[in-house]
Structure 1
């Protein structure tokens, strides 16, 4: 399991372990927080297509789907 500090996810790089539509490399472009400042979700942008997807930041801890950095 990837150990992640959600406060430091902005502009971090991620690699999909099972790429779809040739989208393998992603960049965190936005952090979505609640009223208390707790990070709830992140927005990932595919480097190849510039497509955005929003997901709970905890999903990035799943090593079967995501790995830190661009590989």
Structure 2
């Protein structure tokens, strides 16, 4: 289980364990917040292809799918 500080999530770097479409390295480029300022979702941008994916930020805690940093 990855420990994530939601306040430092923006512009953090992530590596996918099982890359799809040869996209392995990602950067968190945008956070979506609720009315009471809780983070709801984040946008992950693939470094090479620049494709953007919206996901629940809590999915990044799953260490069987994501690693912190680029590896």
Counterparts of 1:8-23 in structure 2, within 5 Å, are 8-23=8-23
TM-score, normalised by the number of residues in structure 2: 0.97
The answer for unaligned runs of 5 or more in structure 2 is none
Moved over 2 A (4+): none
Distance, in Å, in 2 between the alignment partners of 1:8 and 1:40 is 15
Match of 1:7 in 2: 7
State the number of aligned residues: 71
Provide Cα deviations, 1:37-59, integer angstroms capped at 9, x if missing partner. 11111000000110000011000
| Residue 6 (structure 1) shift | 1.2
**Does the alignment pair 1:64 with 2:43?**
no
Distance, in Å, in 2 between the alignment partners of 1:64 and 1:35 is 31
Asked if structure 2 preserves the Cα contact closer than 8 Å seen for 1:17 and 1:65, the reply is yes
